[in-house]
C-alpha cells in the first residue's frame, strides 16, 4: 500500500516563518559574528584589490570626451576599430550588444578645445559620426552624439566628497549624544563598509560610474544608517536587562537583533522591490540607461546595508563597549532604566476594586469613652 506524501518539512518551514514574525525564535547572532565577519573582511579585501588593480570605469562626465550611440547589429568591435584607425582613435572604448553600438573616446584623444565646451561642431566629432554612419549604414541623424569636458565631473566629485565629510561628522555627533560613542563608531564603519563593497563591485565588474551612480552611492549611506539606528535604538530599550546581571551586554544586543530582525528584512524587501521594478521595467524594457545606472548601485547597497546592520555595526559596537565601557556607569544606568520600566508597567495596571458583599454586615465601630 502506497504511503501518502508527508508535508512536515513544508509545514515546519511555514511554522518557522510564523514564529520569526512573532519574534518567538532566537537566532544566535553572537555565534555568527565571527565567521560572517571573516567573510566580510575577505569581500572587503577583494573590493579594495579591484579598486587598486582594475580601477573604476568612469563615465564620460568624469573623464571628458565624446560618446556615440548607433543602432546597429552584427558589427564586431574590430570592424569599428579599423574604421576609426585613420582618425587616430582606434583605442576608443567600444561596446556592442542590445542592438546598439557605443563608442567612447577620451578628451585627450579628441584633442579639441571646443569639445570641452560641449560643441558638436568639432571636426573630429563630425568625422567619427560620418565613419560610423558609413560602417553601420545609418543616417547621421540617427546617431546620438554626446560631448563633455572633465571639469564638470571634477566639480561633482568634489561636492560629493564634501557632502560625505559633513555627513560623517554630523552623524557621529548625533549618535554619540543620542546613544553611545561606541555605536557611532560601529555605524560609521558599517556605512564605510557598504560604500567600499559597492564601489568594489563596480570596479570588479567594470560597471560604468556616472553622476546617477554617485547619487546612488550617497543614498546608500542613508539606507544603511537607518537600519543600523533601528537596531541601536532597540539595544538602548533593552539595556534595563543589565540590572542585577540578568543579561550581559552581548546578550542585550543579541536580544535586540532578534526583535528587529524581521522588521529589517521586511523594510529591505519593500525597498528592494521598487528598485528591482525600476531596474527591470525602466532599464530592461523601456531602455532608460539613467535609471539602470541609479537602480543598480542602489540595489547592491540595499542588500549590503541590511547585512551590515546585523553583522558589522552591532558586533563592532559590542566589542568596543565590552572593552572600553564603564561597567559601574552602565549598571547604574541599567538600574534606573529597570526602575522606570517597572514603574511604567505597574502604572499601566489599573487597581482592582473589590465590590462589597451585601450578605456580610459591616463591622460595628467601637465607641469612644
- Of 116, 148, 180, the domain-final residue: 148
Residue entry with cell 537583533? 257
* 141 plus 162 within the same structural domain: no
CA-to-CA distance for 330 and 161, rounded, in angstroms?
A: 37
Percentage above 70 pLDDT, the chain: 70
Asked whether residue 336 is domain-assigned, the answer is no
CATH assignment at residue 168:
1.20.1640.10
CA-to-CA distance for 176 and 318, rounded, in angstroms?
A: 15
Asked whether residue 360 is domain-assigned, the answer is no
Asked whether residue 111 is domain-assigned, the answer is yes
DSSP state of 6: P
Contact (Cβ atoms closer than 8 angstroms) between residue 66 and residue 92? no
For residue 185, pLDDT over 90 is answered with yes
CA-to-CA distance for 190 and 273, rounded, in angstroms?
A: 23
* 45 plus 85 within the same structural domain: no
Give per-residue pLDDT as tens, 102-160: 887 765 444 444 544 445 455 677 788 888 888 888 887 788 877 766 666 677 778 87
Contact (Cβ atoms closer than 8 angstroms) between residue 283 and residue 256? no
* 97 plus 200 within the same structural domain: no
Confidence class for position 351, pLDDT limits 50, 70, 90: very low
- Least Cα distance to 148 among 119, 184, 175 occurs for 119
* 319 plus 255 within the same structural domain: yes
Number of domains in the chain: 2
* 91 plus 161 within the same structural domain: no
Give per-residue pLDDT as tens, 333-349: 554 555 555 555 555 55
Contact (Cβ atoms closer than 8 angstroms) between residue 150 and residue 60? no
Asked whether residue 13 is domain-assigned, the answer is no
Asked whether residue 18 is domain-assigned, the answer is no
The domain of 125 spans 65-148
| CB hemisphere CA count around 326 (13 angstroms) | 8
CA-to-CA distance for 281 and 319, rounded, in angstroms?
A: 44
For residue 89, pLDDT over 70 is answered with yes
* 295 plus 223 within the same structural domain: yes
Asked whether residue 343 is domain-assigned, the answer is no
Question: Is the torsion defined by CA of 160, 162, 165, 169 positive or negative?
Answer: negative
* 179 plus 272 within the same structural domain: yes
* 182 plus 77 within the same structural domain: no
Percentage above 90 pLDDT, the chain: 18
Question: Is the torsion defined by CA of 171, 175, 177, 180 positive or negative?
Answer: negative
* 190 plus 262 within the same structural domain: yes
CATH assignment at residue 85:
3.30.70
Amino acid at each position: 500500500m502506497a504511503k501518502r506524501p508527508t508535508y512536515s518539512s513544508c509545514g515546519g518551514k511555514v511554522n518557522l516563518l510564523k514564529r520569526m514574525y512573532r519574534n518567538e525564535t532566537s537566532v544566535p547572532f553572537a555565534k555568527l559574528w565571527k565567521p560572517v565577519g571573516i567573510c566580510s573582511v575577505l569581500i572587503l579585501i577583494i573590493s579594495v584589490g579591484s579598486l587598486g588593480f582594475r580601477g573604476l570605469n568612469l563615465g564620460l562626465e568624469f573623464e571628458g570626451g565624446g560618446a556615440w550611440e548607433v543602432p546597429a547589429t552584427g558589427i564586431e568591435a574590430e570592424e569599428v576599430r579599423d574604421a576609426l584607425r585613420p582618425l587616430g582613435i582606434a583605442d576608443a572604448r567600444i561596446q556592442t550588444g542590445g542592438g546598439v553600438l557605443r563608442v567612447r573616446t577620451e578628451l585627450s584623444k579628441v584633442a579639441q578645445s571646443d569639445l570641452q565646451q560641449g560643441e558638436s561642431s568639432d571636426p573630429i566629432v563630425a568625422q567619427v559620426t560620418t565613419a560610423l554612419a558609413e560602417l553601420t549604414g545609418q543616417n547621421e541623424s540617427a546617431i546620438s552624439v554626446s560631448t563633455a569636458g572633465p571639469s564638470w565631473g571634477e566639480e561633482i566629485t568634489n561636492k560629493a566628497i564634501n557632502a560625505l565629510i559633513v555627513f560623517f561628522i554630523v552623524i557621529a555627533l548625533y549618535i554619540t549624544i543620542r546613544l553611545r560613542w561606541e555605536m557611532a563608531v560601529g555605524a560609521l564603519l558599517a556605512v564605510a563598509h557598504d560604500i567600499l563593497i559597492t564601489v568594489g563591485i563596480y570596479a570588479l565588474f567594470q560597471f560604468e560610474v556616472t553622476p546617477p551612480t554617485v547619487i546612488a552611492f550617497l543614498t546608500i549611506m542613508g539606507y544603511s544608517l537607518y537600519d543600523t539606528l533601528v537596531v541601536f535604538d532597540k539595544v538602548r530599550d533593552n539595556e534595563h536587562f543589565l540590572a542585577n546581571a540578568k543579561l550581559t551586554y552581548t546578550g542585550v544586543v543579541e536580544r535586540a537583533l532578534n526583535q528587529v530582525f524581521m522588521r529589517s528584512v521586511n523594510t529591505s524587501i519593500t525597498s528592494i522591490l521598487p528598485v528591482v521594478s525600476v531596474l527591470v521595467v525602466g532599464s530592461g524594457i523601456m531602455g532608460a540607461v539613467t535609471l539602470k545606472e541609479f537602480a543598480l548601485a542602489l540595489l547592491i547597497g540595499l542588500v549590503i546595508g541590511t547585512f551590515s546592520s546585523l553583522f558589522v555595526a552591532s558586533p563592532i559596537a559590542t566589542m568596543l563597549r565590552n572593552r572600553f565601557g564603564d561597567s559601574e556607569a552602565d549598571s547604574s544606568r541599567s538600574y534606573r532604566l529597570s526602575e522606570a520600566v517597572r514603574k511604567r508597567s505597574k502604572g499601566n495596571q489599573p487597581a482592582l476594586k473589590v465590590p462589597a458583599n451585601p450578605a456580610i454586615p459591616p463591622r460595628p465601630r467601637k465607641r469612644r469613652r
